[in-house]
A and B are shown apart, each in its own frame.
Chain A
Amino acid sequence: MTMRTQDIITDKLTAAFAPESLRVVDESDEHEGHSGHRPGGQTHFRVYIVSEAFKGKSRIDRHRLINGALAAELAAGVHALAIHAAAPGEGAA
């Protein structure tokens, strides 16, 4: 059985950032009929992540780190990735 994209994203982000908290939400259903949506979904995701790795990093740098960790998924069919990235103590991501 192939892994769900949501689980792959969770695994990769966990390995890359050892997050204090992480939540990956599959929002593909909300985009049905939209150009990036495919039958079977797994195209639109939202990530909430809190990690020490983001301390002192700008918003752009944080997104670049996450996009880099998920480059293969972004190239292979993940159409949208909404990111809420924070360092510990910055408030809810």
Chain B
Amino acid sequence: MGIEQFIDNEVKSNDVVLFMKGTPQFPQCGFSGQVVHILDYLGVPYKGLNVLESAELRDGIKVFSNWPTIPQLYVKGEFVGGCDIVREMFQAGELQGLMKEKGLPVKEAAQA
């Protein structure tokens, strides 16, 4: 299976996928850590994929999304953005809205 196919499969078979440096338990980059923090706060289940474990994945996701940086968040197969966009959306209450719109449960306390 090619890397593009692998990524396509991951973002389609998981509701929320975060391509990141490190793992949700141990992020190895501050930007990835910020997104982990936001997703944990929302209480949304997600899958973290560590691009540091695979150069092929690290390069592949940049091409796949046409986006030059990590982290990258996907919700229901759709590219949402990187750290800045996720944070701005969260602060504006839009990320919570997007999750609910997609039928994903968000913790009551996290709703704007």
Write the residues of chain A forming the contact surface with B, with a CB cutoff of 8 angstroms.
31, 34-36, 59-60, 63-64, 67, 71, 74-75, 80-84
Contact = CB atoms under 8 A, between A and B. Distances in A.
Contact of B88 (A36, A59, A74): A59
Contacts of B84: 63, 82-84
Contact of A80 (B67, B69, B81, B89): B69
B112 interface: no
Contacts, number: 38
B46 interface: no
B42 to A, nearest CB: 18
Most buried by B among A59, A67, A83: A59
A27 to B, nearest CB: 10
A63 B31 contact: no
Interface residues of B, number: 18
A34 B81 CA distance: 23
8 contacts: A35-B52, A60-B81, A60-B85, A63-B67, A63-B81, A63-B84, A75-B68, A80-B69
B67 A59 contact: no
Contacts of B68: 67, 71, 74-75, 81
B57 to A, nearest CB: 16
Contacts of A71: 68
Contacts of A75: 68
Nearest to A71: B68
A59 B81 contact: yes
A60 B81 CA distance: 6
Most buried by B among A64, A75, A80, A84: A80
Contacts of B81: 59-60, 63
